[in-house]
Structure 1
Amino acid sequence: MTTAKFRRSMQMTIAAAAGTLIVALTAGPASAGTGSGYCQSNSYTNCATIFYSSDFSGASLDVWNQNIPDFAPYSYSGGGAGSGQGVKNNAASALNRNSNSSATIWFYSGYSGPCDTMRPENGTDTRLRNTYNENASLSFSQGTSCYVW
């Protein structure tokens, strides 16, 4: 092998390794996330939709397979009222689309304070009670002393 061919072969190997490293660093977990429209079209063990408006309307945020200790970095997306607004202290209704466990919306960051717990696959209340426009975190578990529906 000539020196030029060897050098070119080494460059290609290094470029391929760097590309693999970049993909590995940016891919993130495949089974958890947030967005809009995921819970309606996908089947996840833990999936809840937070809505800007009452009656499950307006812009929304879907959360699946992860707890959210603080809604501060998240914004609503999709069409309707509230699109682009921050989620923290700005939610009016929510749906638990999970068939296995409860989802709880908490008044304070870090899963504390007054709370609303939604039983699995339950969306009978069209408005949050204890956390209406005072929502700071979400966990896929049932809180104690929460309003439950």
Structure 2
Amino acid sequence: MREAAQGTILYNDDTTVKILTLMGERRIPFVDNPDLTGLFTFGMISRREGCRIALFFSSHRYAAELESPIQMCDALARNIPRELGTIVANCLAYACRQFVESHDLFPAEYGRVLEALKIVYKNDAAARKEGLSSEARLKLH
């Protein structure tokens, strides 16, 4: 956990979980958001110095104490900790899936968005192939 906390980019997601030994216990509010209760499996991948560190926790809590990393996650409100100073970068792949799944509702409008996203993904693939740094990737985009 200590090594993961030093990462520069965090990817996280959570899903509800049933833990038999905790079933029937009084629902405990989350520390950073007392309006939320429940059990979650929280998964996080931390990127640090070219390595990836994967962490998984299943409990009533899902927040971590880190210093301003970039937090990649879907846009669900429960993924944004109230007191943790992260730089939130919502997941583009998740957003893209939402446009694809809803394309039939507004084909012309969503088609324009998907065409623009195609360029972003093409540029990012080229940047990855060339091994560009984060700063060089940003310039390319």
- Using the size of structure 2 for normalisation, the TM-score is 0.26
**Structure with max Cα Rg:** 1
Relative to total residues, which structure has the larger helix share, 1 or 2? 2
